Amino acid sequence: MNKLVKKIACAVMAFTLIAGVFTGCKTNKTAKTTIAMPNYTSVKDPSGNLPVKGTVGDMEYRILGNAELGSYNTSRGYYYDMIDELNAPLLIVICAGMHKAVDAEIKIVDVGMDGSTLVIVVEESKGSGEKNKELDCPTVTLEVDHEPADLLIVTTAGEKFEKVNPYEG
């Protein structure tokens, strides 16, 4: 009887360890933090259009689409990148994470300043539902001439994007 109890206890512990590896030990990379939309000064023109390039605060900016600078980072968030050239602009790459729908996308809908904080407002669309057979990681990039003092990237629904490691996604 004592050997049976030991075998059952060992089996339960082994099962618990294996189950922990597949469930409890995983980190949720897509955790979303919702915040109140900041009160910022937008660069949109009086008719509500966002210029593709212009000035925000003391920075020159240009919005690049996925076709101009793609990313296969599967994590949802943002990171800084830079072309290896003298006086190259700083790239703020914003990733929507991996999507299964063919036409999922992310786009910048507003840029502005809240004091010394650069605020980037993005809009995500999940797509039509048609399944994609390939890796699809929608991104959009804001090119700026120097690093902002502070940065806040938020969706139109108030979900804050966190900084991610571009080499881990």
- Per-position pLDDT tens, the chain of length 169: 566 655 555 554 545 445 443 333 333 344 678 888 889 999 999 999 999 999 999 999 999 966 556 666 778 899 999 888 888 899 999 998 877 666 778 899 999 999 999 999 999 887 766 666 666 788 899 999 999 999 999 999 999 999 998 777 5
The pLDDT of residue 133: 61
167 is written with which tokens?
């080499």
Angstrom distance (rounded) from CA 164 to CA 48: 31
Q: Which amino acid is at 69?
A: L
Phi, psi dihedral angles at 4 (to 5 degrees):
-65, -40
pLDDT given at position 166: 79
| CA–CA separation, 83 and 79 (whole Å) | 14
Predicted pLDDT at 122: 95
Q: What is the pLDDT of residue 24?
A: 36
Task: Round to whole Å and give the CA distance between 42 and 106.
Answer: 19
Rounded Cα gap, residues 161 and 169, in angstroms: 15
Q: pTM for the complete prediction?
A: 0.75
According to the model, what pLDDT value does residue 8 have? 57
CA-based Rg of the chain, rounded to a whole angstrom? 21
Closest CA to 111 of 146, 60, 47: 60
Sheet containing 117-125: order of strands: 33-34, 159-160, 150-155, 117-125, 105-114, 41-42
Residues 6+ apart with CB under 8 A from 25: none
pLDDT at residue 82, rounded to an integer: 86
Give the pLDDT of residue 51. 95
pLDDT in the model for residue 10: 55
Q: Other C-beta atoms within 10 Å of 166: how many?
A: 17
